[in-house]
Amino acid sequence: MILTPKHQKMLDDLLDACRKHLPAVNEDLITKAFKFALEAHKNDLRASGEPYFSHPYDVSLIVAREFPLDDVTVVSSLLHDVVEDTDFNLELLTREFGTEVAEIVDGVTKISGLFRGQEITQAENYRKMLLSMVRDVRVILVKFADRLHNMRTLEFVNPEKQRRIASETLDIYAPFANRFGLGRVKWELEDLSFKYLNKEAYEEIAKKIKSKRKEREAYIKKFTEPIIEKLKEYSLNFDISGRPKHLYSIYRKMVRRNKPFEEIYDLFAIRIILDTPNSNDCFTTLGIVNQMYMPVADRFKDYISIPKTNNYQSIHTTVVGPEGRLVEVQIRTQKMHEVAEKGVAAHWKYKENKTASEKDMEGWVNWIRDIFENASKEDGRKDLLESFKLNLYNDEIYIFTPKGDLRRLPAKSTPVDYAFEIHSKVGYHCIGAKVNGKIVPLDTMLHSGDQVEIITSKNQHPNKNWIKFVASHKAKSEIRKWLNKEEEDIINSGKELWEKKIKKLKLSFNIQDVFKLALSLKYENQKYFYRAIAEGKVNLDEVLSATKDKDKKDRESPVLEFENFANIARNDIGGVLVEGKVDGILYSYAKCCNPIPGDPVVGYITIGEGIKIHRKTCNNLLRMSNKEGNKLIAVNWPGSDSSYFVSGVTVMGEDSPGILNEISHTIVAYQNTNIKSINISTINSTFEGSVTLYVKDIEHLNRIIDRLKKVKGVFSVERFESN
């Protein structure tokens, strides 16, 4: 392709800009992209009536001049609208320019498409969503340049579109640019948006600034002269200037502080940029300024020692200038200034190795990630755990509700995760889903930007398979909760059947007996046994007649029986005190509730049998005392303040070598607890044991029970109880 003189000049200008600002330039590739884009867009016009090619061309100039990064970004910006607006597709781009360029162009096309037709109500989520979709940060740079150029040429589109694009820019792009440290882009985007969103206010402020310009310049000259002299004495190289105030920031201050233009604008602003690599010179300069003019105490900010999250560094101070007027002074080095204005691109420039290697790019991407992670930590909206887990936006996706709201979900989420995110009820009854208007299976993996609608049915409930594909903690735990509840209902109904049967046959089974029976029938524990009963898999009559026939001795184990234990424990502590006294009163322990040391107890006066000691919570006792009036008497276990009493626990689990050792160690390790006795017996591959030990109170006992439950292989620990 032979270029016209006009196009040849454009290409030369672009190559010049690249040579001037970029570390390395592949001129052939840029020339090829230039010609390719020129050809691709040859039939299209912009709203201004210009050939469309002027847009990607200007965008590539912005990239080369204003945030120079590398030549790949320049090539990508020349081609950024090709796939979307012309007949050329991504495959062709890949073939001609390689996957790197094609992927950037694809990214730009995708994130542009997202905004269309969506009401932007959650700007913060949008920004995160964008980031979650962008693998290569260069996509964002091209998108910024694209938006900047569209904003600069917004006058040519209709007023409705102007407003839409301007508010989108103000809501999304400007804050986004700020996060990237692209200070100058941010200001420009804001001022341009402001111009189209509130033309009157914009023009009024612009007019006033213009009319005060002479006065302002004169004052700044007066203010800076003595500083300049002093700085020269110190032989510092510097640039000092009145800082241009941005229209939108003046406007925002007027609104926020509810003050007229004059009061806001009265604040003069000076910036001193030092040509030095040494940040100490900034503090020297601060000292000079403070010597000349009195600083205002609470207006000093040192962003050099503690940079902002977007890596902004500068000293800010406010001093009282001539005529008592306040002047804001910013002091920074040239490097800090470039970072403030050009953000990521400047950071790049100051890297030691100026060629764009893979590794540099990686470092840069990590640097961006850092900014974002720290930014959201500072936001403090999420707890620490969450910010560790989820702030790498690759781990998150953003999903639109049918109304266009955004919901955040972990990566690999499915419609079921989304349903539970909306509401647990939606999750419980979710039967199907539409993703971007199409019905899909419930285990379909969602992607950022998908719009999801859930179909529910009253008769639908969570099922086991859901656990296998859901990704969010919320969905998992809700489904488990549902399944457990279902499971529990089944177990309880089995237990009820069992207990009814036992009662009918007048049999007595304690918890250990049931457990042993369950094991002998090859159930892992009594829960599975009850479950099998509920499901009709156990013939209870058969099972029970078999146990009846067995020799009683056969079921006896060397393990301590409750009766024995209770006697040991009661004797050990010396019995109960009746109304505070030890001797002379006849009492015995009620069989209905079998109180043992540590239980809150009360005495019930009987005729002929003396006092019966019951637990305070005994149901029998409550019934009797209600019927026959006050026949209760205060009793308690002695020495409950400081001394210890004997208590007992039963432990069951898988038998393994060293389990006895493990159990006793666990007990002793807690507050050096004393063990009185320990008994373990083994049946098949299972053990059961009883331990008597000295505890201070029920709390002490419960702590030990909790610890024993955590011992590997142990599946049941219970306080020794009669049953």
Q: Which residues are catalytic?
A: 84-85
| DSSP code, position 170 | I
| Maximum pairwise Cα distance, the chain | 125
- Beta strand 268-274 pairing with 326-333: parallel
Q: Give the interface with Mn ion as residue ranges (CB under 5 A).
A: 81, 146
Q: How many whole angstroms separate alpha carbon 453 and alpha carbon 421? A: 12
| Nearest position to Mn ion, beta carbon | 146
Angle at 388 between CA 386 and CA 389, to 5 degrees: 65
Give, for 372, the enclosing helix (H) or strand (E).
helix 358-379
Q: How far is the CB of 55 from Mn ion (least distance, A)?
A: 6
Q: How many whole angstroms separate alpha carbon 660 and alpha carbon 630? A: 48
Q: How many whole angstroms separate alpha carbon 595 and alpha carbon 609? A: 17
Give the nearer residue to Mn ion in terms of CB position, either 34 or 529. Answer: 34
Q: Tell me which residue of 89, 59, 103 sits closest to 77, measured CA to CA.
A: 59
Helix 247-257 vs helix 199-211: crossing angle, to nearest 10: 110
Q: How far is the CB of 41 from Mn ion (least distance, A)?
A: 10
Task: Calculate the alpha carbon distances from 405 to 198, 379, 408, 412 in Å.
Answer: 27, 21, 10, 20
Q: Tell me which residue of 294, 296, 305, 193 sits closest to 252, measured CA to CA.
A: 193
Q: Tell me which residue of 479, 502, 490 sits closest to 527, measured CA to CA.
A: 490
Q: Tell me which residue of 313, 374, 377 sits closest to 183, measured CA to CA.
A: 313
Determine the residue type at 301: K
- Beta strand 326-333 pairing with 294-295: unpaired
Angle at 125 between CA 123 and CA 129, to 5 degrees: 115
292: which strand partners?
Answer: none
Q: How many whole angstroms separate alpha carbon 565 and alpha carbon 701? A: 16
